[in-house]
Amino acid sequence: MPVRSGDKDRPPSGKRERTRIRLVEAAAELVGQHGYEALALEAVAEKAGVTRRTIYDHFRNKDDLIVAVIYRERKELFVPIKPGQTLRAYLRTLAKAVIDASTDNRALGRSGAAFHLYALTHEDMLQRVVTGSRQILPKLEAGLVEAFGRDALGMPPRKFARVLLAVTDGLMARRHLMPEEFPADIVYAAFDALASSEK
């Protein structure tokens, strides 16, 4: 997903931020072993070397922690739009990010699939995903228009943003399942096709 240059997270600093990172890393490791459904906060605390109370100093509940794990695992897809960059150049950068994230990384594929299952079977998380998407998509649309202009998108910004998200997620999933059928040239071709209307 695109972000403007300078919007990326700053390097972590301070004991509080380091503790939060330890918690997310511990949770991610446990999710990789047991899935989201079986994630226990007591196990996260033990693995991170903190008390369960410390988890609640950083996260309201298990779902908050799960969202942090998902963000951590997919943050490489938050590719910044560089000033003056063309849509085609940006989409090629995003294609490379998809390739890098999905190459020899079945753990990420399992995590993504497990998260979708968790969201589909937990109404609170599903609503959270829907609400989050409804907040993010308009920002994505606005960022694309600001960076490249409406004409470059070749379709209404609302549609382009959703197609871009679907292409990104779909290629990630397919490369995890059958990478030999979706090699790098297919990924580049998909993103190049999105840029084909650029003027």
Q: 82 and 68, same structural domain? A: no
- Per-residue model confidence (pLDDT) at position 99: 96
- Asked which of 49, 72, 95 is the last residue of a domain, the reply is 72
Rounded to an integer, the average pLDDT of 22-43 is 93
| Residue 90 forms part of a structural domain | yes
Please name the residue that has the structure tokens 């410390």.
54
165-175: per-residue pLDDT in tens? 999 999 999 99
Does one domain contain both 106 and 22? no
Structural domain contains residue 83: yes
* CA atoms 156, 157, 163, 164: torsion sign: positive
* Per-residue DSSP letter, 99: H
Q: Are residues 93 and 172 in the same domain?
A: yes
What would the pLDDT profile of 42-83 be if each residue is shown by its tens digit?
Answer: 999 999 999 999 999 999 999 999 999 999 888 888 899 999
Q: What is the pTM of this model?
A: 0.82
143 and 122 both lie in a single domain:
yes
> Which range marks the domain in which residue 15 is found?
8-72
Same domain, 120 and 48: no
Distance in angstroms (rounded) separating the CA atoms of residues 170 and 99: 12
Whether residues 100 and 181 fall in one domain = yes
* 94-126 per-position pLDDT tens digit: 999 999 999 998 888 888 899 999 999 999 999
The verdict on 60 and 92 lying in the same domain is no
Q: Work out the pLDDT band at 88, boundaries 50, 70, 90.
A: very high
Contact criterion met (CB below 8 Å) for 90 and 81: yes
Question: Quick one: pLDDT at residue 162?
Answer: 96
Taking the C-alpha atoms of residue 157 and residue 27, their distance in angstroms, rounded to an integer, is 36
Same domain assignment for residues 86 and 20: no
Residue 2 has pLDDT above 70, yes or no: no
Note the pLDDT of residue 110: 87
